[in-house]
Structure 1
Amino acid sequence: MTQPSDVHATRAAYNAVAADYAELLRNELDTKPFDRAMLGTFAELVDASGSGTVADIGCGPGRITAHLDSLGLAAFGIDLSPEMVAVARKDHPGLRFYEGSMEALELADGTLGGVVAWYSIIHTPPARLPGVFAEFHRTLRDGGLLLLAFQAGDEPRHLDFAYGHEIDLDAYRLPPERITELLLQAGLVVEAQLLREPDGRYEKTRQAYLLARKPTRKPTRKPATS
């Protein structure tokens, strides 16, 4: 299957920056209490439901996957960039990481207790996000949870230099209310959201977090027989 040009651009950019990206963000969660709070809430709810395996989609060098593992979840990572996957496997040899696309996950229907997409939907053109969310819905079990993190806004940005490397990459700031609508259209219901101000270091815009659930289907009642 031919992939869109933006997918190739995203893969190439993250291949180029993989090692430096991993080093720069290695301990970033230590300074992000709101991030840890949302991930902790997600982990508690997934664990309480007994729903099983969690996929970190767009896992990069695996730092969020490792954090989820430290919270007691059976987590694995998927990333578009083979260089990112290689770094993740090197840094976290006890965890599982695979190359793959969030738009065509090689996972069976209803097999995941949770999905985390931590700043990984931001390079997908908004017009294709319904397909991404449909994939998340497909792979989640009934009652499974989705946690999204992304920069809030409504404008695209083009990056030509990042993490010490020249790149060619588009990124999209996204309005939380619109993402909530798209999730609902995909069959996922937002249960909690957080919108926080930029931290004054690298961030230039508000940061958004949405926690959504795939509703549990009610059993179909058989008609009474006479």
Structure 2
Amino acid sequence: MSGSVFHDVTRDDAQAIDDCWNRIGVLGDKSCPLLAEHIHCRNCSVYSAAATRLLDRYALRQDDREQVHAPVDSDVVTRSLLMFRLGEEWLALTTRSLVEVAPLQPIHSLPHQRSRALLGVANVRGALVACLSLVQLLDLEPGSAAASGGRIMPRMLIVAAQGGPVVMPVDEVDGIHAIDERILAAASPSGDKYTRGVLPFRERSLRWLDEEQLLSAVARSLS
């Protein structure tokens, strides 16, 4: 779950797409003759076309790849979960599907969005990455809970989807916690296909997400 992992999964995209915004655009030497007209690269049709090619690549890779599931070690007594908040709801996702937690980046919308969940693209270390709304994917109520003290920092989760990494903005990240498998096994059923169970954690009701169902929803949103 490091920057090098993110670099590996985005390297092919960066090589195949002419990232002129990094060379002669706002992130480069600003010598692009189109900057005078568009002011910023995100307003340029070249940038939009690159984002569209990126989304097309997600769809193509989903057809070519078989989903690989990490083996479960029966001797493991804890499981690492990332705890985060969306609106007033706390959720947990297994860390094996997580690349990293990143600072919030500007999201650039695209014309002719392919689904309600697709917010647009974000520029993460010079690479265009599809940005999805977990609120839409999980059909949650939008909104933010009142801060309980301390500094609340919205973040972006970079998740390893089948066609390549995707980013998902969240309102707050609590951290990664090792949860006893016996507690997870005793989690209350929710009846929601995206939730493996509901369990108490630090006086909260925590939804433990089903990563396979979530990644399938991500794939459908990008196809």
- Shorter-chain TM-score bucket reads under 0.3
| Structure number with higher relative contact order (C-alpha < 8 Å, ≥ 6 residues apart) | 2
Larger-gyration structure (1/2): 2
Length-normalised TM-score, structure 1: 0.23
Length-normalised TM-score, structure 2: 0.23
- The structure whose residues are more often strand, as a share, is 2
